Amino acid sequence: MTERQLPLAFPHTPRLSEADFLRSPANAEALEFLGNTGAWPQRRLVLWGPKGVGKTHLLHIWARNHGAGIVAAPSLDQPFWPEGPTAVDDIDQAPSEPALLHLLNAAAEAGHALLLTARLPPGRIRAGLPDLASRLRAAAAVEIGPADDAFLAELLARLLAERQLPVTPPLQSWLLTRLPRTSGAIQEAVARLDRAALAAGSGVTRTLALEALADLFDGDLPPRPTSPSQARGAFG
């Protein structure tokens, strides 16, 4: 008897090129600011907004266009001396306030442009060091707002294509009516569908989506299928 081979999950690497970035009214102001680094007060800018709105994507685009180094703030536990323009992702998750403050001061003294991202506006980031809190409050900040329906539909289709995960247009529309209207929820849903389809060794159906995404769906869910014919559903 042949032993069953388990499918291997390969890590998904997001595409962070400029060509892959989805523009929308929600990120228009951020794009305008990123295109005019010389106008940033104190040569410092904070992009903020919830998870999944494109902050990290924009940070990588800006870093490539300006030859900037990239620092993941969650790993910033020691003083860091920037050697040129620098992009710092997720500053509200930095483990060391002194290290973050040192980076802000060192970049300012050297005249290096500094792009920062956070989930909260900089004035609302809790900082125990008064100097750090003061510098964050003084930083220019641009919010990336909530996405509209057209953006979310395009994002869903693109993320599915990146993972080579075939999902019919009717099923995509069905998902969009039930998922929270945030980019982060769309990204989480696609990741879950990918894992679930791989584990099941099948394509994405409405039944599989109900099982994989039940806790993400908004509102009341339709009853679970009780027969094979029901299980196939309209989008099977």
Structure tokens belonging to residue 235: 């989008």
pLDDT band at 11 (very low <50, low <70, confident <90, very high): low
The CA angle 209-212-217, to the nearest 5 degrees, is: 75
102 versus 220: which is more confidently predicted? 102
| C-alpha–C-alpha distance, residues 118 and 120, integer Å | 5
Over residues 122-173, the pLDDT tens digits come to 999 999 999 999 999 999 999 998 888 998 999 999 999 999 999 999 999 9
230 pLDDT above the threshold of 80: no
41 pLDDT above the threshold of 50: yes
235 pLDDT above the threshold of 90: no
* Complete domains list, the chain, with CATH: 25-143 (3.40.50.300), 149-232 (1.10.8)
Whole-number pLDDT of residue 80: 86
The CA angle 74-68-188, to the nearest 5 degrees, is: 45
| C-alpha–C-alpha distance, residues 66 and 19, integer Å | 17
Widest pairwise Cα distance in the chain: 70
pTM beyond 0.75: no
CA atoms within a 13 Å half-sphere pointing along the CA-CB vector of 110: 16
117 pLDDT above the threshold of 70: yes
C-alpha distances (whole Å) from 65 to each of 17, 59, 104, 105, 222 are 11, 10, 21, 23, 48
Contact 183, 199 (CB under 8 A): no
pLDDT band at 227 (very low <50, low <70, confident <90, very high): very low
- Chain centroid offset of residue 135 CA: 25
Nearest to 13 by CA among 202, 207, 162, 203: 162
Whole-number pLDDT of residue 122: 94
pLDDT band at 1 (very low <50, low <70, confident <90, very high): very low
Contact 40, 33 (CB under 8 A): yes
CB atoms near residue 191 (< 10 Å): 14
Amino acid present at 210: L
Structure tokens belonging to residue 142: 């641009």
pLDDT band at 33 (very low <50, low <70, confident <90, very high): very high
| C-alpha–C-alpha distance, residues 140 and 44, integer Å | 7
pLDDT band at 14 (very low <50, low <70, confident <90, very high): low
Whole-number pLDDT of residue 5: 42
Whole-number pLDDT of residue 124: 94
- Give the rounded percent of residues in the chain with a pLDDT score beyond 70: 84
Whole-number pLDDT of residue 225: 39
